[in-house]
Amino acid sequence: MRRPKAPSAMLGISLLLSAVICFAILDTTSKRVTSVIPLMMAIWGRYFFQALLTTAVVLPLKGLDVFKTKNPRQQITRGILLVTVTGLAFSSLKFLPVGEFTAIIMTVPLLVTLLATRMLGEHVSTQRVLLVCGGFIGTLIIVRPGTDVFGWPLLIPLALVIVNTAFQLLTSKMTRTEDVMTTQFYTTWIGTALTSLPLFWFWVPVTDTQVLLELVLMGFAGCIGHFLLILAFERSPAGTLMSYMYAQIGFAMLGDWLVFHHVPDHLSMMGIGLITLCGMAGGWLTLYELRKKTQS
């Protein structure tokens, strides 16, 4: 009866990696869009198009049942947290390269993994904590004192780390009681409602077709990414998944190079290597733990 756990855990890891690819696309595209249109309008466009895409998928499948939730307060809180995360992320990307920005927020897996034991009741082994700490050291090598990343703009992604940690923990908790599609439906429309209020002061006409298409791409990437993220948390504990979120740094730096021609220096590449090594070791540890459980 214990054998099905292994493919379920590996499926959760695969879903998470697919999700972080979507988030890397979202961050790269949003950095370009916010250089053309006002920040608040870009945030609204991200949620509005994501809400439309989510509704087009969810409503035919769930019907009016999509409105049924056991924890409306948690749904509202999650929507507010994600809007805050998006606002802080878009603001950070106006000052920081995509790769370096992603490296900073990758301290979130460290905090989530360490807090998962107390707040979510999940077991996190000492080896896994050490691996996540190794990934954290890698981010410090990438974003180190003396580089252009350090300065007052660093306060924005630091605030993002705190809010994103709360968002990830709440997401993991909600997957135990809430339907994935219902959660996604509420989050996107709450985000759309909150960001629509200030549009009167920030709206500008979008005449560039490329910018409009990029707004749609942001909504699509956010929609698919968060669906995959929720599904990943449904299939694997937060402590198991967090090490693999470091893969987003690699995808973000690839997007940064392709779109903005930004190449990290040698020390940054060393940090990426350490993060990759810790991620691969985390994958081996997951397989080892699963085999040990099936044999017991």
What's the pLDDT tens digit per position in 114-171? 666 555 556 667 777 787 788 778 777 776 655 555 566 667 877 888 888 888 788 8
Nearest Cα neighbor of 111 from 203, 242, 271 is 242
pLDDT of residue 3: 41
pLDDT of residue 189: 92
Nearby residues of 231 by Cβ (< 8 Å), 6 or more positions away: 12, 15, 180
pTM over 0.85: no
pLDDT of residue 77: 92
pLDDT of residue 66: 85
The helix (run of H) or strand (run of E) holding residue 79 is: helix 72-93
pLDDT of residue 166: 85
Let me know: does 82 contact 163? Beta carbons within 8 Å. Answer: no
Those residues of the chain that have pLDDT short of 50 are 1-6
How many domains is the chain partitioned into structurally? 1
Structural domain boundaries, residue 96: 5-295
